[in-house]
Amino acid sequence: MQKTVSFVLVWFALVLLLAATVTASFMLKGPAGLAVSLGIAFGKSGLIYWHYMHLNEEEGLQRIAALGAGAWLLILFAFVCADYLTR
Partner 1 sequence: MVETRPVAEPYRDARQQRDAAMLGMYVFLGSEIMLFGGLFAVAAVMRLLHPAEVVEASKALHVWIGAINTAVLLTSSLFVALAVDCAKRGRRRGTGAWLFSAASLGAVFLAIKVYEYSLEHAEGLLPGLGAPLKISTPVQRAFMDLYLVATGLHALHLLIGILLLLVIAIRAVSGRLLLPERVIVPVAAGLYWHLVDVIWVFLYPVLYLAR
Partner 2 sequence: MTALQEWPDQADRHDRGLSETETERQSYLRAGYSLGSWFFTRDHKRIAILYLFAITAFFMIGGAAAALMRLDLLTPAGDLLTNEGYNRAFTIHGVIMVWFFLIPSIPNTFGNFLVPLMIGARDLAFPRLNLLSWYIFVLAGGFTLFVLIAGGVDTGWTFYTPLSSMFSHGNVVLAAVAVFIAGFSSILTGLNFIVTVHKLRCPGMTWDRLPLFVWAIYATSLILVLATPVLSITLVLIAAERLFGLGIFDPKLGGDPLLYQHLFWFYSHPAVYIMVLPALGVVSELVAAAARKPVFGYKFVAGSSIAIAVIGFFVWGHHMFVAGQSMYASAVFSFLSLAVAVPSGIKVYNWAATLYKGHISLDPPFLYGMTFIGLFVVGGLTGLMLAMLAVDVHVHDTYFVVAHFHYIMVGGTVSAFFGALHYWWPKIVGRTYPLVWGRLAAIFIFLGFNLTFFPQFLLGYLGMPRRYHVYAPEFQMLHVLSSAGASLLGLAYLMPLVYLTWSMRYGAPAGDNPWGATGLEWTTPSPPPKHNFDEIPVVDRPPYDYEIEMEGEDG
Summarize as ranges the residues that interact with partner 2 (CB under 8 A).
61, 68-69, 72, 75-76, 79-80, 82-87
CB 35 within 8 A of CB 48: no
Q: Which is nearer to partner 2, 10 or 66 (CB)?
A: 66
Q: Which is nearer to partner 2, 27 or 71 (CB)?
A: 71
CB 39 within 8 A of CB 52: no
Name the minimum Å distance from CB 62 to partner 2. Answer: 10
Applying CB under 8 A, among 20, 40, 60, 86 the residue interacting with partner 1 is 40
Angstrom distance (rounded) from CA 9 to CA 17:
12
Question: Residue type at 20?
Answer: A
